[in-house]
Amino acid sequence: MSDPGQIQSVKTAGRLILGVYPQKQEGLFMQRIKIPGGRISWQQWRKVCLAAQTFTNGTPLHTTTRQDIELHNIAAGDIQSLQQELCRTGLNFFGACGDMVRNITLCGSCDIIDGSWDLLPIVHLLNQQILSQKFLFNLPRKFKISFSACPKACAKPWINDLGFIAQQDGTFTLIGAGSLGPKPALGIELCRNLPAKEILPVCMASLELFQQYGDKTNRRTARLRHIRERISDDSFKKELDKKFNKKKEECDWPDIVFSKGSRTTLKMLRLQLPDGNISPADGLLLADIYEATNSQLRINIEHGLEIFAEEHAVLPAHLAEFVNKPIIIACPGSSTCPRGLVDTARACEAIRKALANYNTGNLRINISGCPNNCAQSAVSDIGLVGQKRNKDGKLSESFRLLSGGGNGGSNKLAEQTSEVWAEDLQQAIETFVNKLQY
């Protein structure tokens, strides 16, 4: 391979497989770290914070909607050293970016709430199975899997390639072939009453179908749901059933043992991180406060940290503020992403000001910095999708304003209500929230 373009393509693909993505700033990169189910030890959390201080000049850690952690502003020459540091604490970044099976998401408190199922053993087993597959490096596009531990479907199954919803009897409803992007489409119900033992073969069958029929020439039509749209829902289900039945017969799949959650003495403290960010210093401060206690740290799918403890410590005032922050979910936008069109951090700040006098409870506001919908705006209670529009003879930041989505927990997309210029966003959100009577 002598063509420089081909060589660069291979280098780029290799970086993506290892969770490294180029920023818009020349010579700087983002490292994404996969945290399966959002479960991370305090020792690992401390290591990430120290790595951020060393390799990113103190740039905030960014938590994602797939329970990953991102470190930004890394120089090319520091990537290998950073990865070595992370590996020493058992942290993994393989498949965090690129055309791979991305981080498997899971309800944050599923092992603690009565009536819910602890599905972490399934997540770990499925991860091991996926990594053993030869076709892992030949997928047409990224592939996303989520597990919801009860019928509330908190892990947003309708916007995943495969979304498993645990039922009270320990079987699963499987939702599949959904995704967002510029033209979002929710998944469909693929099966009900699926035994846990059949989770592995149905996942392998789905990945095999994806690898075989996915579009490898046009990335815009390369997700699993595009196969479904191309051949029809019924044909998609029939083809998946054929592969699923064949997979079930290929080997004696292991029994999967999991149990009901029951540790109700642990109390949850949710910290809603502004823009999904927390400084390394504040991250280390949290570890100093909680690491020596019998507490657990988890990253949720909505830019928050969840700490479970018998008794919670009194936090410093600037960290205690995170407890009362509204649920605002945003991608990095134009700050680092080459595709970002708008300043999502400025939009978040305008929305926080707009909501200062409201108790918005569980209202979700999702801000995507471009039409790719990375912040899941298309299914939000209130969704904002960044764009550039001509105003007074120059391109200016604006947003499409959406509302009424099911947050990925139901088959309900948000609908566009209006468009708003970035400088008018605070007033627009205040007016909108007033209409909702918060």
3-state secondary structure the chain: CCCHHHHHHHHHHHHHHCCEEECCCCCEEEEEEECHHHEECHHHHHHHHHHHHHHCCCCCEEECCCCCEEEEEEEHHHHHHHHHHHHCCCCECCCCCCCCECCCEECCCCCCCCCCEECHHHHHHHHHHHHCCHHHHHCCCCECEEEECCCCCCCCHHHCCEEEEECCCCCEEEEECCECCCCCECCEEEEEEECHHHHHHHHHHHHHHHHHHCCCCCHHHCCHHHHHHHHCHHHHHHHHHHHHHHHHHHCCCCCCCCEECCCCCCEEEEEECHHHEECHHHHHHHHHHHCCCCCEEEECCCCEEEEEECCCCCCCHHHHHHHHCCEEEECCHHHCCCCCCCCHHHHHHHHHHHCCCCCCCCCEEEEECCCCCCCCHHHCCEEEEEEEEEECCEEEEEEEEEECCCCCCCCCCCEEEEEEEHHHHHHHHHHHHHHCCC
Q: Tell me the per-residue pLDDT of 328-346, one tens digit each, with 9 for 90 and over.
A: 999 999 999 999 999 999 9
Residue 177 to residue 201: CA distance in whole angstroms: 16
Residue 203 to residue 122: CA distance in whole angstroms: 12
Residue 160 to residue 156: CA distance in whole angstroms: 7
Q: What homologous superfamily does CATH list for 113-250?
A: Sulfite Reductase Hemoprotein, domain 1 (3.30.413.10)
Q: What is the mean pLDDT of residues 224-233?
A: 98
Q: What is the mean pLDDT of residues 190-201?
A: 97
Q: Tell me the per-residue pLDDT of 31-51, one tens digit each, with 9 for 90 and over.
A: 999 999 999 999 999 999 999
Determine the pLDDT at residue 7. Answer: 31
In terms of pLDDT, which residue wins out, 308 or 12?
A: 308
CB-based contact 302:329 (threshold 8 Å): yes
CATH class of segment(s) 4-100+263-323? alpha beta
In terms of pLDDT, which residue wins out, 166 or 5?
A: 166
Q: Which of 336, 322, 343 is nearest to 276 (CA)?
A: 322
Residue 61 to residue 49: CA distance in whole angstroms: 7
Provide the CATH topology of domain 326-435: Sulfite Reductase Hemoprotein; domain 1 (3.30.413)
CB-based contact 420:350 (threshold 8 Å): no
Q: Where are the domains of the chain?
A: 4-100+263-323, 113-250, 326-435
Determine the pLDDT at residue 264. Answer: 64
Q: How confident is the model at residue 60 (pLDDT cuts 50, 70, 90)?
A: very high
Residue 280 to residue 283: CA distance in whole angstroms: 5
Determine the pLDDT at residue 1. Answer: 36
pTM of the model: 0.94
Residue 382 to residue 404: CA distance in whole angstroms: 7
CB-based contact 105:62 (threshold 8 Å): no
Q: Tell me the per-residue pLDDT of 388-433, one tens digit each, with 9 for 90 and over.
A: 999 999 999 999 999 999 999 999 999 999 999 999 999 999 999 9
Largest CA distance in the chain: 67
Residue 433 to residue 346: CA distance in whole angstroms: 19
Q: Which of 370, 415, 433, 429 is nearest to 397 (CA)?
A: 370
Determine the pLDDT at residue 213. Answer: 96
What share of the chain in percent tops pLDDT 70? 96
In terms of pLDDT, which residue wins out, 406 or 325?
A: 406
Determine the pLDDT at residue 111. Answer: 83
Q: Tell me the per-residue pLDDT of 85-118, one tens digit each, with 9 for 90 and over.
A: 999 999 999 999 999 999 999 998 888 877 789 9
Determine the pLDDT at residue 112. Answer: 83
- Are the folds of 4-100+263-323 and 113-250 the same? no
Range in 154-158, 229-233, 254-258 the model is least confident about? 254-258
